[in-house]
Chain A
């Protein structure tokens, strides 16, 4: 703690351009060498602006008014050039494609090395070393355009690493990645931090990753730094974080909630499944609940716990799905492969009834997006048949299928094209031939419901609000089927909940919802049925509790069960079978409370 800060912010405020609103508001902060700092907060909190201030992009690249001072390695960033700051601070920005300056991996790494005048006899060593450090030596001669998102992210990190910066600043490096690749990126960062002593500052929405890897977490809200401490200190403020729109790891919620219910004394929260299991087992033991013979192994052991046969009283009641209605979506033995590559889907069978909310999970490249494109008609099956509301998608144009299926895309900007929010929301209705006056009335009602500014241009809104405009244009269509492709990426916790609650309501009214999602917590909270995909095939299709309780299946699909599912499995093994199949924080808390207070 005694070593001098490598980056210091003294009362820093920043407004973009001529605007009065402060993107950063009086932030003071010290980052010491060797720290692994996570930054989180709701959208619009100023996280990216903070990253820009640390890397010198504020004030050198983004124009605006800066107050206070930022010192990098003791030098005021206003007094040195961006290039000089870059010698100390390497930065990886959000848009990974825009970060690239070359078309081949090797050239991408060479660019910085050559520019900073690294002696030519050192270049080969540094280049090979940086590639090896992030584990992509095999990609050296590949064209960047042919790499996956996770690989590109690693190339970006390697290109910065080769320059040997003392600080690495990353802005949401995992936003477009699946859980397995996200974890790999954090493991790589953690290694760099421990082995090479590089200070890491990472902006991230995935709180479970932050709590696992960071030794310090900063929480921003409204341009201000509101919390600063170890993960345990920060996540002890669960309710406050929630109010701001910041999620907490589910196991932290379990222990915080037990404390709120007076079952345990308030204190630092649990941060891992193992900790929560130990805590609860200890509680039960203290209250005379006999423990099962300890399974010994942690929650991630591949102990093949057969799918729980007895349905726990805590599994969410399957609602509309049990209605004996005929499926509105029906795929029978559907195969499709992209020309030139083996990717695609093979022999997919899936039927979804009105009112069902189905989550589709799997790694990047598992065929999830292909599946959604087959459903909305953008792709036609090579064999088998896709029927939507009784229509074979091969027989009608996509624009006609749109009357039955609405898709909410991951990137709302591709969906938006009108001058005002109202026009945008009414547009889909007008395309389906709804009378202009009625379309506007319905659009007006929808924009009011979401609290959107009807007269403004959609492009002037924030990322979260643009997603809401896209969502309103889906809701207003009152479709029979809704497809969601990563509906929560790029959204903060609160926006994410608004989207999911709206979708839940649509399902209740009889709309079939199919949601492709990387966030297992969201899937287990909202989907009653989960389809697991890998390598273009459906590996499993069942209730969320059932699917997440199969460690072998999770491994085969390279996904990680949500924390609560892991915890309930561990407890079912080591404490009481009554925990089997619980998928919600409240379920665990209620059961523990019942067991310790007879």
Chain B
């Protein structure tokens, strides 16, 4: 419920696209971001992602993601300015070249991280897995592994929260303000968490096998995921976007 990849319900064009097309959109924006080398395009791609997010009603999700990403981006900028020392000095160790490469790296980080999360949040995991199997011919066991791993993220984080609450109630200082002390206290808990995760994974494997996992073929899915006209249009736009990234 608190995970960033939870499904955001809706009925927009984006929601109705084939899950594979959505992956292509994310891939196109990412590739374009990596290829782009000018500020207008880099900023433009981020704005595009945010605009799509706003259209699909997932802007709040992106905002919470940005809260994590922006501090990371700032650290990256500082590191870059420390490494790249050519060009005219600006302030202290910072040079013009450092600022340029650093800020571009920053924008790329934001531009690369957001599209995939956005597309995953407007796609149901089951649909994504089935569509990848049907359209991309991905073997089902890989698709299943992937979706199960994503599904387990919130389950494990809940488990970790519960463990930490239990330990706090015993008097372990997880409520300390010192992040390093907190990390040091958390490490020993990885073992119980790992033990319970292995148990859970094994139980899921058994449950899947007892419901015919090994009988599944590409034709098994009840819902079908055809690539229709709107998908082709969007795919064409994706190609154009990548070309634009390469050109500018």
Residues of chain A at the chain B interface (Cβ within 8 Å): 55-57, 61, 82-83, 86, 90-91, 93, 95, 97-104, 107, 110-117, 120, 123, 143, 145-146, 159-160, 163, 373, 376-378, 397-400, 402-403, 405-407, 409, 411, 413-417, 427-428, 431-432, 459, 473
Any A CB within 8 A of the CB of B220: yes
CB distance from A467 to the nearest CB of B (A): 13
Whether A95 contacts B203 by the Cβ 8 Å rule is: yes
Whether B163 contacts A83 by the Cβ 8 Å rule is: no
**Cβ contacts under 8 Å, A377 to chain B:** 169
Which residues of chain B in 109-146 are interfacial with respect to chain A, using CB atoms and an 8 Å cutoff? Answer: 124-126, 144
With A101-B208, A427-B170: A110-B222 Cβ-Cβ less than 8 Å: yes
**Cβ contacts under 8 Å, A397 to chain B:** 173, 175
| In the A-B complex, the 8 residue pairs with the closest CB atoms | A115-B212, A402-B171, A98-B203, A107-B126, A112-B211, A431-B171, A414-B166, A114-B220
Whether B163 contacts A414 by the Cβ 8 Å rule is: yes
**Cβ contacts under 8 Å, A86 to chain B:** 209-212
With A415-B170, A416-B192, A428-B171: A102-B126 Cβ-Cβ less than 8 Å: yes
B contacts with A: majority SS = helix
- B175 touches which one: A83, A398, A431 (CB < 8 A)? A398
Interchain CA distance A414-B149 in the complex, whole Å: 22
Whether A417 contacts B151 by the Cβ 8 Å rule is: no
- Contact residues on B (Cβ < 8 Å of other chain), bracket: 35 or more
Pick 22 A–B contacts, CB within 8 A, sort by A: A83-B210, A83-B214, A93-B203, A95-B199, A98-B207, A101-B144, A103-B7, A104-B124, A110-B126, A112-B211, A116-B212, A123-B222, A145-B1, A373-B165, A377-B169, A378-B165, A398-B175, A399-B168, A414-B159, A417-B188, A417-B191, A431-B171
Whether A413 contacts B170 by the Cβ 8 Å rule is: no
Per-position 1/0 for B188-219, Cβ under 8 A of A:
11011001100111011111111111111000
Least CB separation from B5: chain A residue: A103
**Cβ contacts under 8 Å, B83 to chain A:** none
**Cβ contacts under 8 Å, B221 to chain A:** 114
Residues of chain B at the chain A interface (Cβ within 8 Å): 1, 6-7, 124-126, 144, 147-148, 151, 154-155, 159, 162-163, 165-175, 188-189, 191-192, 195-196, 199-201, 203-216, 220-223
Whether A431 contacts B169 by the Cβ 8 Å rule is: no
13 additional contacts, CB 8 Å, given A111-B208, A414-B167? A61-B205, A82-B210, A83-B215, A98-B199, A99-B207, A100-B151, A100-B204, A102-B125, A114-B220, A120-B222, A398-B175, A399-B171, A409-B169
Whether B166 contacts A407 by the Cβ 8 Å rule is: yes
Least CB separation from B205: chain A residue: A61
Whether B169 contacts A115 by the Cβ 8 Å rule is: no
CB distance from B240 to the nearest CB of A (A): 34
- B220 touches which one: A104, A117, A402, A407 (CB < 8 A)? A117
Interchain CA distance A117-B98 in the complex, whole Å: 60
Q: How many A-B residue pairs have CB under 8 A?
A: 158
Least CB separation from B2: chain A residue: A340
With A103-B124, A145-B1, A414-B192: A91-B163 Cβ-Cβ less than 8 Å: no
CB distance from B200 to the nearest CB of A (A): 4
Whether B204 contacts A98 by the Cβ 8 Å rule is: yes
Least CB separation from B200: chain A residue: A98
- A101 touches which one: B162, B188, B191, B207 (CB < 8 A)? B207
Whether B170 contacts A159 by the Cβ 8 Å rule is: no
Interchain CA distance A11-B228 in the complex, whole Å: 60
Whether A82 contacts B209 by the Cβ 8 Å rule is: yes
Whether B212 contacts A83 by the Cβ 8 Å rule is: yes
**Cβ contacts under 8 Å, A100 to chain B:** 151, 204, 207
**Cβ contacts under 8 Å, A403 to chain B:** 171
**Cβ contacts under 8 Å, B209 to chain A:** 61, 82-83, 86
Whether A163 contacts B211 by the Cβ 8 Å rule is: yes
- B169 touches which one: A95, A407, A459 (CB < 8 A)? A407
- B222 touches which one: A82, A114, A406 (CB < 8 A)? A114
Interchain CA distance A60-B59 in the complex, whole Å: 48
Interchain CA distance A356-B18 in the complex, whole Å: 62
Interchain CA distance A403-B159 in the complex, whole Å: 25
Interchain CA distance A56-B210 in the complex, whole Å: 9
Interchain CA distance A427-B188 in the complex, whole Å: 13
**Cβ contacts under 8 Å, B195 to chain A:** 413, 459
**Cβ contacts under 8 Å, B196 to chain A:** 413
Least CB separation from A110: chain B residue: B222
Interchain CA distance A400-B204 in the complex, whole Å: 39
**Cβ contacts under 8 Å, A90 to chain B:** 210
Least CB separation from A101: chain B residue: B208
**Cβ contacts under 8 Å, B223 to chain A:** 110
Interchain CA distance A225-B199 in the complex, whole Å: 27
Interchain CA distance A62-B155 in the complex, whole Å: 24
**Cβ contacts under 8 Å, A402 to chain B:** 168-171
**Cβ contacts under 8 Å, A82 to chain B:** 209-210
Chain B CB within 10 A, most for which of A98, A113, A411: A98
With A101-B207, A101-B208: A115-B171 Cβ-Cβ less than 8 Å: no
Chain A CB within 10 A, most for which of B167, B188, B210, B215: B210
CB distance from B208 to the nearest CB of A (A): 5
**Cβ contacts under 8 Å, B167 to chain A:** 414-415, 417
Whether A432 contacts B169 by the Cβ 8 Å rule is: no
Whether B216 contacts A432 by the Cβ 8 Å rule is: no
**Cβ contacts under 8 Å, A61 to chain B:** 205-206, 209
Interchain CA distance A104-B128 in the complex, whole Å: 13
Whether A101 contacts B211 by the Cβ 8 Å rule is: yes
Interchain CA distance A111-B130 in the complex, whole Å: 11
**Cβ contacts under 8 Å, B214 to chain A:** 83
Whether A99 contacts B169 by the Cβ 8 Å rule is: no
Least CB separation from B212: chain A residue: A115
CB distance from A81 to the nearest CB of B (A): 8
Interchain CA distance A391-B124 in the complex, whole Å: 48
Least CB separation from B215: chain A residue: A115
- B151 touches which one: A55, A103, A116 (CB < 8 A)? A103
- A112 touches which one: B1, B170, B212 (CB < 8 A)? B212
**Cβ contacts under 8 Å, B169 to chain A:** 376-378, 398, 402, 405-407, 409
Whether B192 contacts A459 by the Cβ 8 Å rule is: yes
Interchain CA distance A91-B6 in the complex, whole Å: 29
Whether B124 contacts A415 by the Cβ 8 Å rule is: no
Whether A159 contacts B189 by the Cβ 8 Å rule is: no
CB distance from A270 to the nearest CB of B (A): 39
**Cβ contacts under 8 Å, B144 to chain A:** 101
**Cβ contacts under 8 Å, A400 to chain B:** 171
